[in-house]
Amino acid sequence: MTLLSTPADRSASGSRLERLGAAHVALAVALVIFPAIGSDFFLTQIGGYSLIFGMLALSLMMLAGYGGMVSLAQMTVAGIAGYMVAIFGQNSSGVLGFGWPWWIAVPFAVLVAALASALIGAISVRTEGIYTIMITLAIATATFYFTQQNYTIFNGFPGFAGLKAPVFWSVDWRSPVAFYYLCLGMAALVYAAVLYGSRSTFGLTLQAIRDNPRRMRAIGFDVTAHKIFAWFLAGVIAGLAGVLLVWFNGRISPGTIGVSAAINVLIIAVIGGIRHPIGPFLGAVVVVMMQTFAIDIVGAERFNTLIGLVFLVIVFVSPDGLLGLWGKIKPHIAQESLRSGP
């Protein structure tokens, strides 16, 4: 909570508030007071889970939207962070578990994930478009099978259990409200960072590289280094999401980082739209709601069909996802309000 309210407190002056945007303030307020109305289930299973998947999709949105690199390996990067927390922190599976305190294990896990992400970037950076997708998909699949069949380090199919959020600052971060705020704080942090970063010199250079790499290289920019650094930053975001994900599930297994989970991240980003960092979070809310409640609407045998249909409809109506849909509706609303004048 502190993470969010401090910037709001500081922005007492009108110009600051304006720059922050009314929509942002309204959204922040709504998200902060959500625990007052949401049940525990909605806080963690919908709220927390959406925020975590939103962060994952955000790391993809950053690579795809600003860098033009569509990656299917973001779930793998998150999984690496998750496995690091399980292996170097405490788990109840009786395999490894070095018992490092969380404040060492977590930064270490995120760092390893970011470095792994940079490595994936270095491998795939010379490819473009569909070939990047294929290479990252291959890496994701290979990692999935590697964790599933390696019992000495990754404990194979069952994976690790008993991974819980720590207790610090005398707050139990595994309780629903605290965990929700933890996810919200982290999501707000990376969201603001990406928004800020996109307007920074590095962000603008990256977007220029996306639009015309050859020209950027001719001017003298090191295109490869910029791209790999973008992968590193995306890895930090995915790594943070991965740590939150294992705290959320209380466990990690190859199923967590399987191919369908990796594709889910792409679906979320596409549903939400990759033009603006808010898109992935919108997409995550829709997908998580669908996955949780579709079974109640159409029954156990056909619910995946309904999920697929909704995805199809969204992408069919608006190729830019929900963000694009909003872009289409907004002028209509403005027109309507003009017409319905006195």
Partner 1 sequence: MNIHKRTLLLLAMATALSSPHLALADDASIKIGVLATFEGPFTVLGEDGMRGAMTAVDEVGGMVGGKKIEIVKGSSDASPDSAVRAARKLVEQDGVKVLVGPLSGDEGVAVKDYAKTQPNVTFINGTSAAQDTTLRNPAPNFFRFSTDGAQWMAGLGTYAYQVKGYKRVAVVAEDYSFPYTQVFGFMAEFCKAGGKVPSKSWVPIGNKDFSSVIAAIPDDVDAIYVALGGADAVNFLTQFQQAGGSAPLIGGSITVDQTVLTSKGKTRDVLIGTPSAGPVADTNDTPAWKAFVAAYKKQPDAFPSPSLFAHGYYVDMKATLLALGEVKDDVSDGGVKLRDALSKLSFDTPTGKVSLDKNRNAIADIYLTEVTAGSDGNLYNKLVKVIPQVNQTLGIPEKDFLALGAVGRDNPSCP
Residues engaged in binding partner 1 (CB under 8 A): 39-42, 45, 92, 145, 148-149, 151, 156-159, 161-162, 249-256, 258, 260, 289, 292-293, 295-297, 299-301, 303-304, 329, 332-333, 336-337, 340
- Which is nearer to partner 1, 278 or 286 (by Cβ)? 286
What type of residue sits at position 313? V
CB of 252 to partner 1, least distance (A): 8
CB of 10 to partner 1, least distance (A): 34
How many other C-beta atoms are found inside a 10 Å radius of the C-beta of residue 309? 12
Task: List 192's β-bridge partners, or say none.
Answer: none
State the Cα–Cα distance between residues 9 and 1, nearest whole angstrom.
12
Q: Please say whether the beta carbons of 185 and 1 come within 8 A.
A: yes
Q: Cβ closer to partner 1: 251 or 276?
A: 251
Give CA–CA dist 62/51, Å, rounded. 16
Q: Provide DSSP, 107-152.
A: HHHHHHHHHHHHHHHHHHTT--THHHHHHHHHHHHHHHHHHHH-TT
Q: Amino acid letter at 227?
A: K
- Supply the minimum distance, in Å, between the C-beta of residue 241 and partner 1: 15
In angstroms, give the least distance from the CB of 49 to partner 1. 8
Of 115 and 298, nearer to partner 1 (C-beta) is 298
Closest separation in Å from C-beta 284 to partner 1 = 15
Longest dimension (CA), the chain: 74
CB count in 10 Å sphere of residue 222: 13
- Distance between CA atoms of residues 279 and 169, nearest Å: 33
Q: Between 239 and 254, whose beta carbon lies closer to partner 1?
A: 254
- Taking the C-alpha atoms of residue 232 and residue 66, their distance in angstroms, rounded to an integer, is 14
| 49 vs 88 by CB, closer to partner 1 | 49
- Nearest approach, Cβ of 62 to partner 1 (angstroms)? 26
Distance CA 65, CA 246 (A): 27
Which of 224, 291 has the CB closer to partner 1? 291
Which of 261, 263, 266, 303 is closest to 283 using CA atoms? 266
Cβ closest to partner 1, residue 107 vs residue 299: 299
**Shortest separation between residue 336's beta carbon and partner 1, angstroms:** 6
